[in-house]
Amino acid sequence: MNLIKLFLITLLATFSYGYELKINKTFDETLEPDKMELTFSLSAKKESATETKELLHKAIESIKKESICKGAAYSINPEYNYNSKKRELLGFIGTANFECTFKQVEEIDALLTYFDTLKELELRQAPLRWVVDKENIKIAKTSLEFRAIKYAKEYAQTLLEEKIATCSVKNIELLMDGFVRYEAQNMMVARSAMPTPTKEPTTITINANYLYDCN
């Protein structure tokens, strides 16, 4: 009997002084890609750093004519042969990186034609893919944050209407998924043709942790 009384007193004290309620909810938004992206690099190798730089600069000037491409930051480093006891200088390697964005494959026809002329330069490129504009991603993230904040009050109101508890929002923690997920395309640049990759949706996620004071 004493144990039952003690339990009831403890339970009454708990509800009298209130308690904290923690919940978690995930919000996401799916965006359709609105442009294609192609990243690539060009490498040049010559006996001297000056020759390497000159060859690389010619390539950069040609690619800069394309308004859809940006980048052109480059580096030049010596290449050595360490197989023998004496270090042997083999030459200098220079590499420039580029990123091109466009909506139609036809927009890079001139770039593909230029690729066909490459003889002294090595071309490396990532798969062509559809991406979402960074500004649209930023807008979507802001929208998710508003949804998460609005949900905090809606959940407290639901608890009240269902006569479960009377709660007030104490803290909201929003964790944005820094990785924007998309389906990578297994298509490489063809020098004679450029196939259009399939559009895959991009998902942006925010994880919300809520802390309520309830009684």
Which domains can be identified in the chain, with CATH numbers?
18-33+133-214 (3.30.110), 35-131 (3.30.70.2970)
Cα Rg of the chain (Å, integer): 30
In the prediction, which pLDDT does 213 show? Answer: 95
CA-nearest of 5, 35, 22, 54 to 182 is 35
pLDDT, one tens digit per residue, over 154-213 is 999 999 999 999 999 999 999 987 544 444 333 344 444 566 788 889 999 999 999 999
User: CB of 72 within 8 A of CB of 64?
Assistant: yes
Distances 1 to 4, 5, 52, 107 between C-alpha atoms, Å: 5, 6, 93, 85
For the chain, list residues with pLDDT below 70.
1-17, 178-195
- What are the tokens at 214? 């309830």
In the prediction, which pLDDT does 194 show? Answer: 60
Beta-bridge partners for 75: 95
In the prediction, which pLDDT does 12 show? Answer: 47
- Looking from the CA of 43 toward its CB, the CA atoms found within 13 Å total 11
DSSP structural state of residue 107? G
In the prediction, which pLDDT does 17 show? Answer: 66
CA-nearest of 80, 74, 78 to 56 is 74
In the prediction, which pLDDT does 106 show? Answer: 87
